[in-house]
A and B are shown apart, each in its own frame.
Chain A
Amino acid sequence: MTTAIRKRLPRNDALQKVTGDAQYADDIYLPGMLYGKLLRSPHAHARILDIDTERALALPGVRAVVCGIDTSGIKYGTVPDEQGLAIDKVRFIGDEVAAVAAVDEETAEEALALIDVAYEILPSVHDPLLAMQEGAPVIHEASAHIYDAARNISRRTHLAYGNVEAGFAQADYVFEHTFETQMVNHATIEPHSAVAQYDPGGKITLYSSCQTPFLIRSDLAATLQMPLTRVRVVKPRVGGGFGGKREMMASDFSAAVLAMKTGRPVKVTYTREEALATTRQRHPTRISLRTGVTRGGRVVAKECHMIMENGAYNGRGPDILGSCPNYLTVLYRTPNIHFDGYLVYTNNPPGSAFRGFGNPQIRFADDSQMDIIAAELGIDPVELRHLNVREAGDVTPNKAIITSCGLRECVEEVDRATDFRNRWGKLPFGQGVGLACGHHTCGFKSLLPHDSSAAVVKLNDDGTANVLTGASDVGQGSDTALGMIAAEELGIPFHRIEMTTADTEVTPMDLGSYASRVTFIAGHAVRLAAADAKSQLLEAAADLLRTPPQDLVSENGVICSLEHPERSALVEEAIQHHLAHGPGSPILGRGAYNAPTDRLNRETGEGNTSPAYSFGAQVAEVKVDPETGRVRVIRMTSAIDCGVPLNPTAIEGQVEGSVAGGMGQALLESFSQHEGLILNPSLLEYRVPLAGEMPDMDTIIVETEEKEGPFGAKGVGEFVQIPTAAAIANAVYDAIGVRIHDLPITPDKILAALSKKGVGT
């Protein structure tokens, strides 16, 4: 019996969310608060010659106008190339040029139109292949950070493992294909929002819809040139992040700067249009993949050329490109790999982190190609996976250590659940099944030399506990997972745990919600903090029950002696005893965890950058209407290895969200662009799948025990979305014999491909 883990517990924020009581950043109203709006560049590439704010300032109700020149101009980012507000140049349509604070939103909007900006329009470039050519417009000036500024190449990652030449020499067959993936937006239900408050003592407090309060504090402190003590970032409830809220946004920076200038609180909430068109995107990619296989179906060598379109700024782009080789080495046993990737600036909206961090793009290419190989070799896709899957105990060519891995079982389970092998290639025209696999990390040590988290657990005299951690629940449910870990370790019911997350002034540091790290890394920190509190609790109980602490167990709020089962006390009795007889302090537990991993070596791409890896397999079942070309996903079956399942309901939620996201990229989501201008910045025209589009979804949990994980758990935030596009593309091929190499798989592409094949209307 466990107290909390493995139980299907409802989320601890469920009631607040379903009743609408949950407070998001935009729900915050502070006395005297002003409303901020950003003036954005209408040009894809231009030099700012002059900004005249006089007319805007003269508008009644306007309290401040701030331009880049009024700020430090310090560049920020992993590889810094972006300013909070642009000073010399704008690099994409939507780049932030000035910020206005006014008494209401309407006045602020009106004031934007009164700011006169003189631009010198520069030639722009919107295609990475053109941007890489000699003579293309140069978007960023040369610096030590940039690989080749003249050709707009921000970063090149060029690595090889094993002996690629010898590997291809062993191959009986070599397959070569090119795949393309599109720009995709996170489309979080809650757009970015920030409220800043400046106290005259010189401290800024920022309530920000974000995934990484501690990292945003660093960026904000650096760009405001203030010590970390004077910048406080508070994360309220967040309505989705998916990677789109893990960097400081112009909304954060501008709210802070305007609050400092006016001395009044300032709120900046993005419109849907701003969130879709001017924040961050999943990088569009072009991936050429050459794979050598033996007659028997073993992958012996792989060569990957990747062009990743960076857009106007780096965001997390360099780290994403740097992770891509991992995505080829970890999932399938591939001894010899050559990877050559380019991260290329264009005058399009910036790309950055997005659920999977480059992995979905690689996986679409690689698992589409696996399907092609299976068909060509006459080996069924399940068997081809079995011949190549990663196994526990493996060390990958770039030194990732695979401690636990249920991939083989996941493939077996999806095969069994969908009767895949008996249906693949045998269904009537228009119906198909497709298989793909995926994996992802449980943390990623790259950005910083540590991958860490800390927590504090405070016990109250009524037997409840407060957990304080910087880990950020952004809707994924980490407050629930971490609360369950604390409850389990303390042996008190889950509903007695109150989570405080996250406030950089109050909660211990955590790097944030990304890299599927929270359950794993913050989970450890919380567990250790709870264990520390529990040892003090048991000391107190031991004194109360006159038995050694080693003899005591705490379960469901009761502390009981193993030796003398009649001796027991309620947790609150032990806490009260501690207060009455101890040094006077309440019980306070501390815990911290720094993943025992290697920082990514950028030169070699080597290192075990994640403490564990999660794995999964997915089967898509589709129907393709040969008259319209429309693809309907009927059922999506996911078998997943995320270690010990802490809360199966929460895990299923993550799986279903991943399927929706992956399906959106596979079939629907795309931006229509004209020279950097996004023509469909609305949720009506940028089509994410809605409830009516969703298939039946089955989740099969394949349990492994991850020795390094908290209670044996691994992350589940990202890896289920990674195979989805390939699974759907493979099912489409099975249904109609047409292979779509570029996402999304739209009806017009299908009809064109069918008609080329001589099938169809």
Chain B
Amino acid sequence: MKTPLTGQFTPRRALMLATACLVLAAWGPTVTLPLARFHGIIVLDVTQSMNVEDYSADERPQSRLDAAKAALHEALQALPCGSRVGWGVFTEYRTLVLLAPLETCAHFRELGSTLDSIDGRLSWAGRSEIAKGIFWALRQADVMPHRPSIVFVTDGHEAPPINPRHRPHYDGKPGTIAGLIVGTGGLQPMPIPKFDPAGRRLGYWRADEVQQQDTYSMGRATSVGQEKLVETEEETGTADWATSGNEHMSALRERYLQVLAQELKLDYLRLDGGNAGARSLSRALGRSALAQRVPTKVSLGGPLAAIALALLAWTFRPAFRAARYRGTASPRSPGTAKP
């Protein structure tokens, strides 16, 4: 077939080709291609610091957990069909998988309603040992079918505080499970709301109600004076570990999470508020590191119809030259009355 450039491509041929394309498109052929689609378990930190309201939605304060859930709802919608999402929750020192990965388009309602029901009341214990929770999630992913990637949504607030020199150790091989740590929260320390088991609010945690020091620095019950369980020098500035004396306040421990991400070969993303945050989260989830190639049916109807549309538009393209010619023959100027 000749291209339009050679002049042999007549409108008649274009129309016949367009007809063929449209007939094919109407018939709806599909091809199955191995496309990269997100396949992972998204773990939400449901510990108390996630109730800190340092996001806002509709000009009202929004908790970290609610902000993360809103962004995840958006992401769920934005992920292309064929993506598989599972949900998990983190408290204490472990991750619990609630729902194994499910295809997002066919199970949008189910995935959405399970996400809705994730809240702070699921938390079964008061501790929040985040590093261990991430390790746990990675280890679980390693034994699950298809080895899903792990997305861990947290603010990095370890409770009780950890000692930078005596941090939990990951016994797996970093990098075997791909993952993303999503840091939530603001950088300004904020008071942590306190709730009773029924979810009623009881004010905020006070300084004397939480463990301010890591266990290693506290010493034993029998320790004398300032004697510590282990000798540590004061680490300053390398990462935002514990904020001695300020553990009842919570901010996003971003540098800590970045250190963890680096050590475990995971990606890191800070969750911004509002739509921008939701969009960047969707983009991050779409990245190929978290994806697996799955045979995905791709419809050829769209591309075929697009070709047909281009052919039709070419066939019926406006005659610019003729218009210009007409323009000089009967000049239209303002004020010229038309009959």
Co-complex (A, B): no
